[in-house]
Each structure stands twice: as structure tokens, then as C-alpha cells.
Amino acid sequence: MTMQEATFSLLNQLRTIYDAGEASNIADLVMEKLTGSKKVERMLYKNESITKNEETLLQQFSKRLLEQEPVQYILNEAWFGGVKFYVDKNVLIPRPETEELIEWIIMNYNSSLDKLKILDIGSGSGCIPISLKRKFTNAEVWSCDISEEAIKVAKKNSKDLGTAITFIEIDFLDKKTWSQFPSFDIIVSNPPYIPEKDKATILPNVLQYEPATALFVPDNDPLIFYNAIAQFGKTHLNKKGNIFLEIHEDLGKEVSELLQSQGYSAEIKKDMQEKDRMIKSGLL
């Protein structure tokens, strides 16, 4: 099988479940991982045969992709802020909206010399604390998660990317754990925020494969994490400090009102899709 035949075979299969653009992007990622060659190089050698090992791997990858497993989990890699992160089924796949949240924080603290103290709540892959540490090299960065496996992934990425971060495995909703933390200049979180009732609207590649504990919250308490973060901030947010939160696009008003009811300011920011997606908050 030639390089071109392998690419077309994969593309034709992917087009049965993805639109043309997404199918092309996924095929490109798979073929680059498979051959170690960029698209331009593969074009030059399109009539060269791929190896038997590459052909076997392609068949394995194709089978998993047709079961709608995310390509990031299959390849164990996802790009975030121009950096490659290791990911597996224990962590959410980093999203562009979260990159926008990071950019907003950087806009507010534009000096890498600042000796900030930063806490990320919900480590996942570590993309948030690692990205902030790479920008604010003098910052003291902490991150916590309830999942032992997620912490392992975040620590691996932190080590691979040369960032010193304090990771703690805790249930943040348990207030008794809060005494382990100092106070911070920045508290940031992309917490679970999708109500259980919305599961029917979630794409199969997300619902079946990404960790439910990082996605869903009870229908009767969808703001459970935002409320906990607001309570935590009253004792752990430094004077003039800020909280940055990613939010459900339909719950901006509710999160804003919750924060204001607890003595915070609340500034909602839209993402590139013009959806309410993040909030900046500080104690008044």
C-alpha cells in the first residue's frame, strides 16, 4: 500500500462519520503519527510504500476511529497553545475555549517577571497550570484534581515540558481539604459544568470516551463547583487577586449572579464563537 493509497483509504472511512474538513484533519494527524512525516513530505513520497508495521497500525487506528474514539486518545497527544500534551482516557481533551481563557489571564498579567501565586482547580492534562507556568516563569503554580490518574497525566506533562508545579490529589468540594492551600493571586478553573440532563445532546465521541466526572454536574446543583470556588476565594484569594472561570455557555447569568451574591465582581467574556464562555471575578 502506497502513502497515497493509505491516506485515501483512511479518508474514505472517516467521511462516513465526519464531515470532509474534520475527516481530513484527523487523517493528517494519523498519517503524520504513523510515518513521522509532515503533509508536504508525504506528498513528495506519495507513491512510496508504507511499511507492514505502519499498515497494521493504520488498520488498528482506523477501527478505533470508526468507533468514534477521539483521535487524541488514539495517538495519546493533543495540541494546546502550540504545545503537544500527552492525553489519555483519564483526562479531558484540551479545548480551544480553554486556550482563550489562558490568553485572557495573560492579558491581565502581562509581565513574566511577576512573582504570582496561581491555583488551578481541576488539573486534567495539566494544560492550564503548565501553560501559565511557561508564561509566568517566576510564578508559584499549584494544581489539584480528584482523580489520581489525571494527576499522573498532569505530572507527566509537567515533567516533559520542564515546568515545576505542585500537584495535589484532593476532592475540592470537601472544604476540610482547603487548609492544605496557601492564598493565591490567581485562581483559575475549567470545572465540570454540564447538567446530567444534557447528556443526550453530547456527541458520542465525548460522551462515550471522555471522563464523566470532569464533564457533568447534578441537575439540581449545576453551579456546585462555582459556589465552592467562590467560598474558597473568600479565605484563599489575595487582595486584588482574580478568579478566572470557564463556564457553560447557557449559565453565564447564573454564575455571575452567584458570584455577585457572595461579594465578588463578575465580568463575562465571550469566546470566538460569541458564546458566554468565561468569567473574571474579584472580591469587592
pLDDT tens, the chain, 284 aa long: 999 999 999 999 999 999 999 999 999 999 999 999 999 999 999 999 999 999 999 999 999 999 999 999 999 999 999 999 999 999 999 999 999 999 999 999 876 566 899 999 999 999 999 999 999 999 999 999 999 999 999 999 999 999 999 999 999 999 999 999 999 999 999 999 999 999 999 988 999 999 999 999 999 999 999 999 999 999 999 999 999 999 999 999 999 999 999 999 999 999 999 999 999 999 99
Q: pTM for this one?
A: 0.94
47/138 Cα distance (integer angstroms): 50
Give CATH superfamily name and number for 86-281: Vaccinia Virus protein VP39 (3.40.50.150)
Write down the domain spans for the chain.
3-67, 86-281
CA dihedral angle for residue 187, residue 181, residue 145, residue 157, rounded to 10 degrees: 80
The Cα 269–Cα 134 span in angstroms is 24
Residues 6+ apart with CB under 8 A from 111: none
Beta-bridge mates of residue 278: 246, 269
Q: Provide the residue count of the chain.
A: 284
